[in-house]
Amino acid sequence: MKDMKLEIVILAAGQGTRMRSTLPKVLHPLAGRPLLAHVLDTAASLSPQQTHVVVGHGADKVVEQIGPRDGLKWVEQREQLGTGHAVDQAMAAIDDAATVLVLYGDVPLVRGETLQALLAAAQQGIGLLTVELAEPKGYGRILRDASHNITAIVEEKDANDAQRKIREGNTGILCAPAALLRQWLTRLENGNAQGEYYLTDIIAMAVQDDVPVHGVQASDPDEVSGVNNRRQLAQMERAYQLRQAEQLMDQGATLIDPARFDLRGRLTIGEDVLIDANVIIEGTVVLGNRVRIGPHVVLRDSVVGDDVCIEAMSHIQGATLGAQCQLGPYARLRPGSELAEQVKVGNFVEIKKSQLGQGSKVNHLSYIGDTQMGANVNIGAGTITCNYDGANKHQTVIGDNVFIGSDTQLVAPVEVGEGATIGAGSTITSNAPGKALTLSRSKQRSLENWKRPEKKSS
């Protein structure tokens, strides 16, 4: 295995008409990433010499969205004449001494371990990945002889009634010596119901040439299922998410409902993490020990320290939370938010591009943007930093141990000194000195004998 010169060919040229979309099928997202990206990641885990992706419909979009990768070669199939024809387009760049593994851009959940077993089985001959299905509709059927050796594959549209009752189906995933594969591809014919050159016809050729065909059966039908329509895409999404949930639970996380969990990126967890229902993880997220995440939380590209509690309906993006922070419910942290230890951000509070010092509290109904806040600051309800003048953003600086009363506007650029108190209802446009009370209010008046307006009678 270590000495094998492996070349991988991924077929990704189909239009996917049943998706009813202008987007090439292999670019439809699974867990927030294109179907093809998942297959490329699995291919890379096998350390091939090169990966050849055969594209056709929407080739420019596919190449642009996937972008450059090490060892990736794009091959265009100008006419879609079948899987055999597609593989043949890539063979010109493949050495005869190599082993060729054929994958599919719309089969995203195939496991690297399964493919390793397939490659091992193909050390002497061809490796063919099959699957046992209760309802194999749409699959080519595996034909075997009395000794259980694989003799051929018959496509469903070309199968007779007896062959259609066979439950072992062809996944289309196979590996073969490049020199033999090249010969067999030149012998393919298109005299079938579809008028296409079937890659699967090489199995019968191999048998005719006394080349053994080693079948490896996938243990999980989901990993070899393709995506041809929106319903299948949704089914694949749930299969993928359940796989991620099971891996997290194996690592020690508690998921209140694994069926209502979505991981659309990479998640690293500490010990005793608890995640409630309908939590969505996107990008790269790190959770420390004993983190508690309530229901309906979205976490994207963030780092969460030990013993943090995130209550329901909170949205966190591009943020860092120190140990023992409390967040939410209904809190929003935007990119650049950095919370030191023991910070509390309460309900309907938005933080953007700001640093909050240890033990500071913004409990409710406030906006803090472009702010450097010290330790043990208390922000009253309804406080906002007015950081945008219509053209530029400006910074607010708040020292340690500041108390800001409710319904205060801090008009940046402005500084509030250490230990200062800002009276409720103030609009602060100039720097406020430390250890002093600063307030700005109009004088309160009461009008005697004032009569409240009344509705006019019709």
Q: Tell me the residue length of the chain.
A: 458
Q: What is the pLDDT at residue 454? A: 87
Output helix, strand, coil percentages for the chain, rounded to the nearest 5.
20, 30, 45
- Asked if residue 73 belongs to a domain, the reply is yes
- 86 with 131, same domain: the answer is yes
In terms of domains, do 209 and 255 share one? no
34 and 106 inside one domain: yes
- Does residue 298 share a domain with residue 157? no
Nearest C-alpha neighbor of 382 from the set 404, 415, 413: 404
457: in domain: no
What the block records as the tokens of 82 is: 């079948």
Q: What is the mean pLDDT of residues 86-114?
A: 96
CA distance 337 to 320: 6
Q: Are 318 and 335 in contact (CB under 8 A)?
A: yes
Check whether residue 190 and residue 279 sit in a common domain.
no
**In this model, does residue 84 exceed pLDDT 60?**
yes
If asked whether residues 351 and 433 sit together in one domain, one would say yes
pLDDT of res. 146: 85
pLDDT, tens only, 343-382: 999 999 999 999 999 999 999 999 999 999 999 999 999 9
Please report the pLDDT score of residue 79 as a whole number: 87
Does residue 63 sit within a domain? yes
**Assigned domain for 235 exists:** no
What single-letter DSSP state applies at residue 449?
T
**Tokens in use for 315?**
């949205």
Q: What is the distance between the alpha carbons of residues 90 and 72, in angstroms, rounded to a whole number?
A: 12
Taking alpha carbons only, the member of 110, 190, 114, 112 closest to residue 155 is 190
Q: What is the pLDDT confidence band of residue 122, given thresholds at 50, 70 and 90?
A: confident
From 224, 258, 285, give the residue that closes a domain: 224
Residue 15 inside a domain? The answer is yes
Q: Contact 269/255 with Cβ under 8 angstroms?
A: no
- Global pTM reads 0.89
Q: How far apart are CA 415 and CA 398, in angstroms?
A: 6
Is residue 449 in a domain? no
DSSP 8-state symbol, 181: H
| pLDDT at residue 147, as a whole number | 83
Same domain, residue pair 135 and 69: yes
From 38, 148, 364, 394, the catalytic residue: 364
Q: Give per-residue pLDDT as tens, 242-267.
A: 999 999 999 999 999 999 999 999 99
Confidence category of residue 332, pLDDT binned at 50, 70, 90: very high
- Please indicate whether residue 364 is annotated as part of the active site: yes
Contact 338, 319 (CB under 8 A): yes
Residues 79, 139 within the same domain:
yes
Distance CA 402, CA 398 (A): 7
Last residue of a domain, one of 191, 224, 257: 224
| One domain, residues 184 and 258 | no
CA–CA separation, 291 and 341 (whole Å): 14
Rounded (10°) angle between helices 35-44 and 59-66: 60
Mention every residue, 6+ apart, whose C-beta is less than 8 A from residue 399: 374, 415, 416, 417, 418, 419, 420, 434
How many separate domains does the chain show? 2
Alpha-carbon gap, residue 171 to 289, rounded angstroms: 42
Q: Within 13 A of 238's CA, how many CA atoms are on the CB side?
A: 8
Question: How many Cβ atoms from other residues are within 10 Å of residue 193's Cβ?
Answer: 10
- Is the four-CA dihedral 166, 12, 22, 68 of positive or negative sign? positive
Instruction: Report which of residues 194 and 187 the model is more confident about.
Output: 187
Separation of CA 146 from chain center: 46
pLDDT at 293 over 90: yes
Percentage of the chain beyond pLDDT 70 is 99
238 part of a folded domain:
no
pLDDT band at 219 (very low <50, low <70, confident <90, very high): confident
Kindly tell me if the per-residue pLDDT of 157 is higher than 90: no
Please give the sequence-ordered ranges of beta strands (E in DSSP) within 344-446, or none if there are none: 344-347, 350-352, 355-356, 361-364, 367-369, 371-373, 378-379, 384-386, 396-398, 403-404, 409-411, 414-416, 421-422, 427-428, 437-438
Domain co-membership, 206 together with 255: no
CATH number at residue 279: 2.160.10.10
Confidence category of residue 1, pLDDT binned at 50, 70, 90: low
Does some domain include residue 1? no
Closest CA to 408 of 375, 379, 378: 379
Contact status, residue 337 vs residue 345, Cβ threshold 8 Å: no
On the question of pLDDT at 3 being above 80, the answer is no
State the CATH number of the domain containing residue 110. Answer: 3.90.550.10
Give the domain extent around 123.
6-224
pLDDT digits 0-9 by tens, 424-449: 999 999 999 999 999 998 888 988 99
Tokens representing 173 are: 């995933």
Strands 437-438 and 371-373 turn out to be: unpaired
Angle between helices 178-186 and 83-90 (to 10 degrees): 130
> Quick one: 197 and 318 in the same domain?
no
Tokens 């890539």 label which residue?
90
Q: What is the mean pLDDT of the chain?
A: 94
Tell me, yes or no, whether 12 and 70 share the same domain.
Answer: yes
pLDDT tens, position by position, 349-359: 999 999 999 99
Check whether 2 has a pLDDT greater than 70. no
